[in-house]
Amino acid sequence: MGNGLPERVAIVTGAARGIGAAISKRLAADGRAVAVLDLAERTTQDTVEAIRAAGGRAIGVAADVADAEQVRTAVDRIAEELGAPTILVNNAGILRDNLLFRMTDDDWDSVVAVHLRGAFLMTRAVQAHQVAAKWGRIVTLSSISALGNRGQANYAAVKAGLQGFTKSVAIELGPFNITANVIAPGYIATDMTRATAERLGMTFDDFLAQVAKDIPVGRPGTPDDIAAAAAFFTSDEASFVSGQVLYVAGGPKV
């Protein structure tokens, strides 16, 4: 790296598009080698190619973060091809929105599996490399929905749970020079928020215009807004920031 710091290897989950892709590109621009992880390796191609075209190192990796064996295999492959991963961004997530009385067992279980179990499995696998290196950064994506949102009892529960998980990880791994923090985005213009608009029977543009009215800075966020926060949390300069939840939401509340 040109700044004299060692190259760090980062894993970003759910990185084929949206927030995950933006974080992957930003970390690569900051000199990280990036494993772009998603359910299917072919979907990571655009992100990987964009990083390589800009002069960075990246590979696409397929894994279901809720599957322990797939997680182990993926992390082992990344360590072999890129080097020991010491930065982890837990971004993978899904929506299964519904009002509580209509929410199915699968709506609940699938959201819990991807968000909570996935973050646990990925963090458990990567922390071994971080402990060995005596350096690590863990960033997990929560949401303003952790504060509660109609039709998202499952999503709100896991996003709140990830905050407690991260605070516990920060306590356990702090002695090894490993930090763990949470980014809780507000309304970000992504395919996931597009799905929310569809659930509400609104066009995406109308939905964004409506939510912007309640955001003090007057606009919805972009994936690059979240990537900037991730760049800070994963930096060497953030070594004394751990166990924190940063709401990137355009104001103190939305």
- Residues designated catalytic: 155
Please give the C-alpha separations between residue 78 and each of 42, 105, 116, 223, 248, in angstroms, as whole numbers: 16, 34, 22, 25, 30
Residues counted in the chain? 254
Strand order in the sheet with 33-38: 58-62, 33-38, 9-13, 85-90, 136-141, 178-185, 245-248
Task: Kindly report the number of other CB atoms within 10 A of residue 130's CB atom.
Answer: 24
- Report in angstroms the alpha-carbon separations of 50 from 17, 32, 108: 12, 14, 35
- Taking alpha carbons only, the member of 83, 85, 63 closest to residue 74 is 63
| Cβ-contact 211, 254 below 8 angstroms | yes
| CA of residue 188 relative to chain centroid, distance | 13
Residue 181 CB-half CA count within 13 A: 22
Place of tokens 């621009």: 29
Say if residues 210 and 173 touch (Cβ distance below 8 Å): no
